């Protein structure tokens, strides 16, 4: 099964890259942007047919490696 997960910075963590992207967008005349936060996206193909189990495996991966829970949150966004 293919599982997609996104990792985002927690709300109170400074995201300087997001800020620069925001400023660049404004410089390009995208005037209606409130905030930009940059994150990471993973597609993981797991050798498991049970969606619930596959999701659990990727959640475990997120907690142990893919995200640093001091500063980041993870979310499983798609299972196919």
Partner 1 sequence: MKSSVITFPGSNCDRDMDVALKKFGFKNKMIWHNDNELPKSDLVVLPGGFSYGDYLRCGSVASKSKIMQSVINFAKSGGLVMGICNGFQILVETGLVPGVLLRNKYLEFICKNVFVKLDNKDNPYFKNLEKDIFKLHIAHNEGNYFCTEDQLKEIKDNNQVAIYYCNNDGKIEEEFNPNGSIKNIAGILNKEKNVLGMMPHPERMIDSCLSGEDGSLFFKNLLNNIK
Cβ-in-10-Å burial (0-12, 13-18, 19+) of 11 comes to exposed
**Given candidates 1, 66, 76, 79, which one binds partner 1 under the rule CB under 8 A?**
66
**Given candidates 2, 4, 20, 74, which one binds partner 1 under the rule CB under 8 A?**
20
Rounded distance between C-alpha atoms, residue 75 and residue 36, angstroms: 18
Cα of first residue to Cα of last residue in the chain, in angstroms, is 6
70 sits near partner 1 (criterion: CB under 8 A): yes
Tell me the window of 23-31, 43-51, 54-62, 68-76 that interacts with partner 1 (CB under 8 A): 68-76
In the block, tokens 């990727």 appear at 58
Contacts to partner 1 by CB under 8 A:
13-14, 16-17, 20, 65-66, 68, 70-71
């Amino acid at each position: 099964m293919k599982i997609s997960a996104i990792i985002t910075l927690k709300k109170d963590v400074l995201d300087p890259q997001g800020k620069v992207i925001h400023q660049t967008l404004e410089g390009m005349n995208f005037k209606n942007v409130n905030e930009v936060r940059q994150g990471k996206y993973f597609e993981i193909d797991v050798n498991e047919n049970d969606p619930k189990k596959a999701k659990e495996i990727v959640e475990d991966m997120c907690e142990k490696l893919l995200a640093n829970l001091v500063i980041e949150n993870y979310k499983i966004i798609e299972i196919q």
